[in-house]
Structure 1
């Protein structure tokens, strides 16, 4: 008597487990919805009398690609760690209108360009 009942229970479980799960709505998995959108922070050039050198990489041994005048704001997209200058070892990345990517040491950007605000490249 117990055997047919057990068989019936197992059949019911197998049928229930093979039913397709239903999602009420598809989730948005775009980079923006997941919080992965590119950041851009507007920061001013400071701590220099005329301009800050924007270099091809995060150090003074890289070529100068652009000279950013003091007081000018730029949209920085991220930072990289590199050569330290005046105790600051982060280099903030910008893309200049001419299409060049270059880095300015964080010593020369205002406090809006924090590591938390920019995120690492």
Structure 2
């Protein structure tokens, strides 16, 4: 595992490294789902909220704002009445979401193993 700073000087393991914040925006509960939902799509706020089942309006707005600030998401307000706002990924967001989707596919595909491990763990704890 990489624990030393790269050639660019950033090291996510260092307490003050700004990459930690971006990593949280990408891998946090809602961040990874929002980025993955936007992969290859342009969505309005409510459509994105429906896609990411369970996210509150407040959390979705905060997540999108953080990801926009990090250069992962583009927010485009179209001049219509009422206002029409769309969200899509930047090239960096697209690359990031692609890697997240690989991880999501791995996790989903290995859920039988995970569930079996949980059952084994829980059984061993219940008896002892």
Please give the TM-score of this superposition, normalised by the length of structure 2.
Answer: 0.23
Please give the TM-score of this superposition, normalised by the length of structure 1.
Answer: 0.23
Larger Rg: 1
Structure 1 or 2: larger strand share?
1
Structure 1 or 2: larger helix share?
2
| Greater relative contact order (Cα < 8 A, sep 6+) | 1
